A and B are shown apart, each in its own frame.
Chain A
Amino acid sequence: MEIVMCFVIGFLFMAAVYLMLSKSLLRIIIGTGILSHGAHLLLLTMGGLRGSAPPVVSPGVTNYADPLPQALILTAIVISFGVTAFFLVLAYRSYQELETDNMNLMRGSEDYD
Chain B
Amino acid sequence: MINLLLFPILLPFFFAIILMFFPKKRFTQRIITIVGLLSTLIAATILLITVKTNGIQAITLGSWPAPFGISMVSDMLSVLLVLSSTLITLIVVWYSFTSIGKAREENFYYPGVLFMLTGVNGAFTTGDIFNMFVFFEVLLMASYLLIVLGGEKVQLRESIKYILVNIISSALFVVTVAYLYSVVGTLNMADISVKISQLGQPGIITVIAVLFLIVFGLKGAIFPLYFWLPSTYAAPPIPVLALFGALLTKVGVYAIMRTYTLFFTLDQSFTHELLMIISILTIIAGCIGALAYFDVKKIIIYNIIIAVGVILFGASQMNEASLMGSIFYLIHDILIKGALFLLIGVIIAITGTSNLKKMGGLIKYYPMLGWTYLVAAFGLAGIPPLSGFVGKLLIIQGGFEAGNLWGGIVILASSLVVLLSVMRIFIYAFWGEPVEITPLTKRHYRGLFTPAVILVGISVLYGAGSEWLVPYMSDAADVMLNPSQYIQAVLGGA
Which residues does A use to contact B, with CB under 8 Å? 20, 25, 28, 32, 35-36, 38-40, 42-43, 45-48, 68-69, 72, 75-76, 79-80, 82-83, 86-87, 90-91, 93-94, 97-98, 103, 106, 108, 113
Contact = CB atoms under 8 A, between A and B. Distances in A.
A43 B134 contact: no
Contacts, number: 96
A76 B136 CA distance: 12
B491 interface: no
Interface string B170-195: 11001101110110000100000000
Given A69-B181, A79-B134, A83-B163, A98 B174 contact: no
A113 B153 contact: yes
Contacts of A76: 133, 174
Interface of chain A, helix or strand or loop or mixed?
Answer: helix
Contact of A48 (B137, B157, B177, B182): B182
Contact of A90 (B137, B163, B177): B163
B397 interface: no
Nearest to A72: B130
Contacts of B231: 108
A108 B171 CA distance: 27
B133 to A, nearest CB: 8
Contacts of B137: 79, 83
Contact of A36 (B156, B159, B171, B178): B171
Interface residues of B, number: 31
A99 to B, nearest CB: 10
A86 B144 contact: yes
Contacts of B330: none
Contacts of B171: 32, 35-36, 38-39, 80
Interface string B219-236: 000000000000100000
A110 B167 CA distance: 28
B413 interface: no
A66 B175 CA distance: 17
Contact of B160 (A45, A72, A75, A90): A90
Nearest to B167: A32
B156 A75 contact: no
B112 to A, nearest CB: 13
Contact of B157 (A35, A68, A106): A106
Contacts of B148: 90
Contact of A43 (B141, B157, B160, B178): B178
B129 to A, nearest CB: 10
B151 interface: yes
Contacts of A80: 167, 170-171
A59 to B, nearest CB: 23
Closest 4 pairs between A and B when the two form their complex, measured CB to CB: A46-B182, A46-B178, A94-B156, A39-B174
B168 interface: yes
Contacts of A75: 130, 134
Contacts of B177: 43, 72
Contacts of A97: 151, 153, 156
Contacts of A108: 154, 157-158, 231
B164 interface: yes
A39 B157 contact: no
Contacts of B187: 68
B236 to A, nearest CB: 14
Contacts of A69: 178, 181
B163 A86 contact: yes
Contacts of B167: 32, 35-36, 80, 83, 87
Given A46-B178, A46-B182, A79-B137, 15 more contacts: A25-B160, A35-B168, A39-B171, A42-B175, A43-B177, A46-B181, A69-B181, A83-B137, A86-B141, A90-B148, A90-B156, A93-B151, A94-B156, A97-B156, A106-B160
A15 to B, nearest CB: 13
A101 to B, nearest CB: 10
A68 B185 CA distance: 10
Contacts of A48: 182
Contacts of B158: 108
Contact of B174 (A20, A43, A87, A91): A43
Contacts of A43: 174, 177-178, 181
Nearest to A103: B160
A18 to B, nearest CB: 14
Nearest to A44: B178
Contacts of B156: 90, 93-94, 97-98
A74 B170 CA distance: 15
